[in-house]
Chain A
Amino acid sequence: VEALVVEMQDPKSGLKFEEQKLVTTTVPHAIAEAKAFGTMMVAYGYIYPLQDHKRLILKVDASLYRFQVTLETLILCVQCPELPLLRKHASNVTLTLCTCGIAQTPYFWPVQHWRAEDTDYAIYLAKRNIRKKGVLELYEQEHYNNLHKWMNHKWDFIVMQAKEQYRAGKERKKSDRVVLDCQERAYWVVHRPPPRTASAMDYGLDRLIDPNAEENKTVDYYRRIIIFNSQAIMRPKVKSTVSLGALVKFSSTFKNHDPFLAPCLPSNPWLTDDITYWELNLPRVEVPTKMRVERWTFNFMELLNDPCGRADFRLFLKKEFSGENLAFWEACEDLKWGSAEAMKEKAEHIYKMFLAPGAPRWVNIDGKTMDITVKGLVHPHRYVLDAAQTHIFMLMKKDTFGRYMKSPVFKDAQKKALSPQPHTFTNAQLEQNARNRKPGIHPIILHQQEEEEKAKLAASGPVDIKQIMSKLDRRTDLKK
C-alpha cells in the first residue's frame, strides 16, 4: 500500500484531490475493487476523512461518478511487516479520489517503523490540553490520566516536549498548522482507537514460533526430509489430465445440485423463508425427492452417506441375502469412530458375529486379509479391521452397487420420488414468510429419533443364515 500511495502523490501521474471532482471512466469490476482498496487505505490512515474523523470507513457517495477509484501502475515492490507482499503491476490505471479524503504525509504512515509510543501519545495529549483546556474526549481524558499515573517519572519531560511542540506549531503558517493538526489527530485515531471502534492495526495474536527464524539443521532434520521424500517419490501419482479431468467431471456432475448454480426446488429457504426444501430433505423421510435419488447414482459413497439411500440399499441387500456386508461395514465404522473404552468389546462382538468360523453373519473375505485381521484381534485396536473393511467396501462398491442401480428396488425408489414445483410466492407472501420464521426441530430431538430407529433395527435381529438354511432344508424335505 505504501508504494501505491507514493505513486499517488507523485504530482505528475498521481492523485488530484482536495478540490476537484474528477470524472474518470472505469471498468465496472474495477470500481468494486477500488472500493475495497479505498476502504483499506482509509482504515489504515493513509487517507483520512475531514469530518467524522472518528470513524475510519470509506463512504461511497450516492452518485457513482463522485467516487471513482481505480488502480495505479506500480514501479516498486515494497515489503512491509504488517501488510503482505506487493507485486508488480502490469495494468495501467489511474487512481483519483474525491473531496472526502485527504492523504497523509509519509511521516504519519503506519508503515513507518517507529512504534506509536505511549510517550508520544502523552506528549500529543498534553499539547492539546495546553492549547485549550477541556478539549479532550472522555476516552482521551482517561488515557491521559492513566499515562500521567504510570509515566509520572517522565512527566516533566513530556510537558516540556509538549510545550516545545506547541510553540513550534504557533510559528508555522496557519494553513500548515491546520493540516498538520488534522494529520496528527487522524494518526492517533488509528493507533489509539476510540472505544467501540476497531483498529485496522489490530492483527490478531502473535504467532508462537517465528517462521522466519532459521531452523536448526541437525541430523534428524535432514533424515526426516529424506524419509518423507523417499516415500513421496514412490507414492503413485496420476497424470494431470486424468486427475484434473476428474475434478472437472465432479463439478459438472453436481452442478445442478449446487444451490448457488441451480435453483433449489421449491425454493432456497434463505431466500424465500419457506422451509419446504428442508422438510422434504430431512435425513429420514418417507419419500425422497428426485434430486436426492439422482445423487445416489453418482457414486457409492453418496448412497451410503444419505440415510434414505442407505436404507434403500439395505432393503435391496436383504432381498439378495447379502445384508451382512453392509452390517459389517457399519460395525467397522462404529468401531473406528467410537469411544476408546467400548472398543475392545465392539471388536470381540464383530469377530463373533461376522468373522469367526460358523459366525451367524459370516462375511466373505480372502484368506490373507482374514489372517491379518484375526491376528490383530488378539490386541484390538481401532484400525484392526481396516483391511477387512476395505475389502468388503470395495466388493460392495464394484459389484453390489452396480446391481443395485439396475434392481427393481432402486427403480421403485426412482419412480416414487417427489419432484417439487418451483415456488410461486408473491412479494406479499414472501413478506409473510419472513414474519413467520421459526426455528426447526432441535437437532437433539432428531438425534434421539435416529437412535431409536437404530435400536429398532438392531432389535429386529440380523438375518441368521443358519436359520434360513435350515428352513430351506425343511422345505425341500417336505417336497420330497
Chain B
Amino acid sequence: MCDQTFLAITFGPCDNCSETKPLMNIYVKNEPINYCSLCVERMACQGLGPNETLATLKTESETLKTKLEEERAKLHDAELHQVAEKVEALGQFIIKTRRTLKGHGNKVLCMDWCKDKRRIVSSSQVRPFRWRRHEHAVTMPCTWVMACAYAPSGCAVACGGLDNKCSVYPLSLDKNENLAAKKKSVAMHTNYLSACSFTNSDMQILTSSGDGTCALWDVESGQLLQSFHGHSADVLCLDLAPSETGNTFVSGGCDKKANVWDMRSGQCIQSFESHESDINSVRYYPSGDAFASGSDDATCRLFDLRADREVSVYSKDSIIFGVSSVDFSLSGRLLFGGYNDYTINVWDVLKGTRVSILFGHENRVSTLRVSPDGTAFCSGSWDHTLRIWA
C-alpha cells in the first residue's frame, strides 16, 4: 500500500494563497511545497523568467525525465517471473459459457455487476440500457451509450455516452415504472463520456471523457467536485483503487498514457507511458498495489505502483488484435482480456503466460468484468449478446 499517500498533507492552507483547500504536493528546486490546484496552474502558466527560454525549459524537462528513469532503474532488481518462480503452476482450466444473455438489439458496449453478484446492467448502441434478470429497458436520447455503472447500494444505475452526459436512474421494484422519468443528469462534459463509476457510495460519480479530462461529481446536486487534467487526448477508461483509503484512481487514454490520480487534490501522481497505442481498459490488481491495462497494441501490461514501473507484458506474436477490456480474478492470479478478434485470453499474471483462450462470441468483445465475488465473469460483445463464463 502506498503509505506515502497517508503521510502527505492533502488538505490545509495553501503555501501560496493561504486558502484552506485540497493541496497538491509538489517540489520546486527539490523543496516540498503544498499548493492548491489553482496556484499550481498559475505556476505552470507563468511566462518565461529572466534566464529562461523555451529551449532551457525543454532541456530541464528532458533532464528530469531521464533522472526519473534512472531512479526507477536503480530499484529494478528483479523481474516478476523471477520472483514468481517458486509459485505453483496453474492446472488445466475448464471455463465455459454458462449463460448467454440475448435481448439487446445492437452492439453491447459496456456492462457492470451489481454488488449482489447476480445482476448486471449493460448498455448498447441505439437501444441503450438494460437491467438484467428483471428486464427493464430505458431508452436514452443518444445513439452510443458507452458507459454504465451499478450503484453500490444496487438502487440506481448510471450511464452515458455520446450525449456528453452521465445520467443516474434510480431503480425501483415496480417493473412497469418508467425509469426515464426519474432520470437525473449528473455529469456534463464537452465531449463523449467514455467511462463512469460510482465511488464508495451512491452519492458520487467519477467520469472520464473524450474531451481529455476526468471528473468527480456530486450526484444530488450535479456539482463538479474535482476535475483531473493531464491527458493530452481522449480518456477511454478508469478504475477506482480498492486501497484502504480509497483515494486514488487510474485512467487510460488515447495518448498511450495511464495516469494515477489523487482524488482529493486532482493531482496526477504517477504516469506510465509504455503502451504503443490507445489504452482501452485499466483495472487495479485486487491488492491495489498494481494495475493492468489493455491496449490497441494487442498487449496487456501490468504496472507496479510502489516500484513505479511496468513489470510485465502479456502478449503473443499470434495476437495482433487490440484488447478492449481487462479484469482480474479475485486473487489476482488470472487476468482476463477481451480482444477485438472475438476471443478472450486468460493470462497467468505471475508467470506471464497464457493459460487459456476462449471462443464463443461472434464479434469483438467490447467489455469484460469479473463478478464481485469472483465466481464468474461476464463479457459483452458487438454480436449483441452477453456471456457469463465460469
Contacts and interface: CB of A to CB of B under 8 A. Distances in A.
Q: Determine if chain A interacts with chain B.
A: yes
Contacts of A223: 43-46, 57
B53 to A, nearest CB: 10
B245 A393 contact: yes
Contacts of A219: 45, 47-48, 54, 57
Nearest to A264: B375
A338 B201 contact: yes
B43 A207 contact: no
Q: Interface SS of chain A: helix, strand, loop or mixed?
A: helix
Interface in B48-102: 48, 54, 57-58, 60-61, 64-65, 67-68, 71-72, 75-80, 83-84, 87, 90, 93, 95, 98-99
A461 interface: no
A257 interface: yes
Given A85-B277, A85-B297, A231 B27 contact: yes
A277 B305 CA distance: 34
B12 A376 contact: yes
B20 A376 contact: yes
Interface string B236-275: 0000000011000000001110000000100011110000
Given A259-B375, A340-B221, A211 B71 contact: no
Contacts of A441: 116
A444 B179 CA distance: 15
B26 A211 contact: no
A340 B117 contact: no
B11 A443 contact: no
A344 B255 CA distance: 39
Interface stretch (A167-175, A244-252, A413-421, A463-471): A244-252
B129 interface: no
Given A198-B382, A443-B153, A258 B330 contact: yes
Interface residues of B, number: 144
Contact of B83 (A198, A248, A281, A445): A248
B234 to A, nearest CB: 5
B372 to A, nearest CB: 11
Nearest to B53: A219
Given A84-B297, A240-B83, 5 more contacts: A207-B234, A241-B77, A242-B307, A247-B287, A383-B22
Interface of B: 4, 6, 9-13, 20-22, 25-28, 30, 32, 40, 43-48, 54, 57-58, 60-61, 64-65, 67-68, 71-72, 75-80, 83-84, 87, 90, 93, 95, 98-99, 107, 114-119, 133-134, 144, 146, 153-155, 162, 171-173, 191-192, 199-201, 203-204, 210-212, 218-221, 223, 225, 230, 232-234, 244-245, 254-256, 264, 268-271, 276-278, 285-287, 289-290, 296-298, 304-309, 311, 316-322, 329-334, 341-343, 349-350, 357, 359, 362-363, 373-376, 382-383, 388, 390
Closest 8 CB pairs of A and B: A443-B154, A254-B331, A229-B64, A258-B331, A337-B201, A270-B390, A222-B57, A243-B306
